């Protein structure tokens, strides 16, 4: 396979990495919770000990704690993705212009991310809107990006290719976080307020995503279906119900997607609330959290590489199972990390970094080996739908349990159900399917 296309494919992981880690994990959860908390205080709420107690904001006369906003917002953003991702696949396949749809989604995602720079207290609604737009763009771009994988790598190459792409993404996230950390921690030295420095970090993420996407967009367009001799306009017509009906003829794919849906609910929840958990439950400051999460990005690059090696030795499916076992152990340890334990939280975070990217990378590779030839785009659309549905389920459980108990610890522990359940479903594939899934 052509290494030029593979390198361009890797580069998009580098580009889009400026969104999930800096935005979802590091800055936005804490920043938007603080913005909502300010709004609650301005309406007469006390917010004395926690943003979960006596600290409500309201939307359409429905009140909820400012501390639960982020969990519920993740659910809303995921619902929007569930409604739009099948449409992305439909438009891309019917027009044959994957790269044009790819470009539109990148503009939406990078533009929405940069737009977060306009959000200040108490405008939590504006921040929520920009996040939903950016998240929809990110998900749509991933549908097209993943669909290119079978065209730029042979089946035997895909474990290594996805691991390299994920590893480069972690390196990119680490570097952009270093720049953001320098801006955030040094804000007073250059005459900026703390909130202003965070908003500039949002702007930097949007620009990084946009600029480093230029080359992948230019190179990968040669694999557009419309550029293939056998393709004709309107040849493919896909929708979510039609694709699900197609799954009845591919039971192994459906079984895998159900397991994937369950365990990614846990992965995405941990990724989304790690910063919030560290600040609100462990009692760490942003000045402490951000360096830890920067370190995790570089650990994640190592973890992706190790997962690629593990897949060679054990097979892709078994490597994913080992990774899920590690996740389960880490969640149990995280429940007992005492308040103020900086080293304990840092060690736990590095452990998460070792497994986070590799689990998703190998799942993507495994799925690409299971889908029927010639139907990659429609099946990867459903792959993204299942992943995003998991994103909705996990944060919803986290937010609801946090609201009921007034603590983030049992909320975090609830994610163990997803890791164990997903591993069991993946393990109990029929024997024939286990061999195919290697």
The whole-chain average pLDDT of the chain stands at 85
Residue 437 pLDDT exceeds 60 = no
Candidates 93, 84, 112; CA nearest to 384 is 84
**Alpha-carbon gap, residue 396 to 218, rounded angstroms:** 38
pLDDT band at 231 (very low <50, low <70, confident <90, very high): very low
Q: Is the backbone of residue 194 left (phi > 0), alpha (psi -120 to 50) or beta?
A: alpha
Least confident of 49-58, 167-176, 266-275, 307-316: 49-58
Number of domains in the chain: 1
Residue 45 pLDDT exceeds 90 = no
**Alpha-carbon gap, residue 17 to 10, rounded angstroms:** 11
Residue 235 pLDDT exceeds 50 = no
What 8-state DSSP symbol labels residue 221? G
pLDDT digits (tens, 9 = 90+) for 289-321: 878 878 888 999 899 889 988 988 888 889 999
- 212: phi then psi, degrees, rounded to nearest 5: -80, -5
**Alpha-carbon gap, residue 268 to 296, rounded angstroms:** 16
Higher pLDDT, 432 or 294: 294
Residue 240 pLDDT exceeds 60 = no
SS (H, E, C) 116-172: HHHCCCCCHHHHHHHHHHHHHHHHHHHHHHHHCHHHHCCHHHHHHHHHHHHHHHHHH
At 209 the pLDDT is 98
Whole-model pTM: value is 0.82
At 266 the pLDDT is 92
Please state the separation of Cα 339 from the chain's center in Å: 27
Beta strands in 246-298 (DSSP E): none
pLDDT band at 137 (very low <50, low <70, confident <90, very high): very high
The enclosing domain of 313 has a CATH number of 1.20.1250.20
pLDDT band at 131 (very low <50, low <70, confident <90, very high): very high
Please state the separation of Cα 231 from the chain's center in Å: 32
At 436 the pLDDT is 46
Residue 136 pLDDT exceeds 90 = yes
At 379 the pLDDT is 79
At 11 the pLDDT is 95
Candidates 147, 139, 129; CA nearest to 85 is 139
**Alpha-carbon gap, residue 403 to 393, rounded angstroms:** 16
Q: Which domain holds residue 432?
A: 3-226+235-436
**Alpha-carbon gap, residue 365 to 119, rounded angstroms:** 38
Give alpha helix (H) positions in 281-415: 286-314, 316-335, 342-370, 376-405, 408-413
């Amino acid at each position: 396979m052509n290494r030029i296309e593979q390198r361009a494919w890797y580069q998009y992981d580098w580009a889009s990495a400026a969104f999930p880690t800096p935005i979802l994990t590091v800055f936005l959860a804490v920043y938007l919770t603080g913005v909502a908390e300010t709004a609650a205080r301005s309406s007469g709420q006390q917010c004395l000990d926690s943003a979960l107690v006596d600290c409500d904001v309201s939307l359409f006369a429905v009140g909820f704690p400012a501390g639960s906003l982020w969990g519920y917002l993740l659910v809303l953003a995921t619902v929007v993705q569930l409604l739009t991702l099948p449409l992305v696949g439909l438009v891309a396949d019917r027009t044959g212009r994957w790269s044009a749809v790819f470009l539109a989604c990148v503009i939406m995602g990078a533009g929405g991310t940069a737009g977060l720079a306009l959000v200040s207290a108490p405008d939590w609604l504006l921040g929520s809107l920009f996040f939903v737009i950016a998240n929809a763009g990110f998900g749509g771009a991933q549908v097209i990006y993943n669909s290119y994988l079978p065209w730029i790598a042979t089946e035997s190459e895909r474990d290594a290719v996805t691991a390299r792409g994920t590893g480069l993404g972690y390196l990119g996230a680490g570097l952009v976080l270093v720049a953001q950390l320098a801006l955030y921690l040094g804000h007073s030295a250059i005459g900026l307020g703390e909130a202003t420095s965070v908003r500039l970090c949002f702007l930097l993420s949007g620009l990084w995503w946009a600029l480093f996407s230029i080359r992948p967009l230019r190179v990968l367009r040669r694999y557009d279906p419309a550029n293939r001799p056998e393709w004709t306009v309107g040849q493919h017509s896909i929708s979510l119900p039609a694709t699900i009906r197609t799954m009845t003829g591919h039971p192994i794919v459906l079984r895998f997607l159900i397991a994937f849906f369950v365990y990614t609910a846990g992965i995405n929840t941990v990724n989304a609330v790690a910063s919030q958990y560290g600040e609100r439950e462990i009692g760490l400051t942003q000045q402490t959290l951000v360096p830890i999460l920067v370190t995790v990005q570089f650990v994640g690059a190592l973890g992706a590489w190790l997962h690629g090696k593990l897949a060679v030795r054990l097979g892709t499916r078994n490597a994913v199972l080992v990774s899920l076992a590690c996740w389960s152990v880490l969640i149990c340890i995280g429940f007992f990390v005492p308040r103020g334990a900086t080293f304990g939280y840092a060690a736990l975070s590095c452990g998460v970094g070792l497994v986070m990217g590799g689990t998703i990378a190998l799942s993507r590779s495994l799925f690409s080996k299971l889908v029927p030839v010639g139907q990659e785009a429609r099946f990867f659309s459903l792959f993204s739908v299942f992943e995003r549905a998991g994103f909705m389920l996990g944060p919803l459980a986290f937010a609801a349990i946090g609201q009921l108990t007034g603590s983030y610890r049992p909320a975090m522990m609830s994610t163990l159900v997803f890791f164990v359940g997903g591993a069991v479903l993946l393990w109990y594939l029929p024997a024939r399917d286990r061999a195919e899934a290697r």
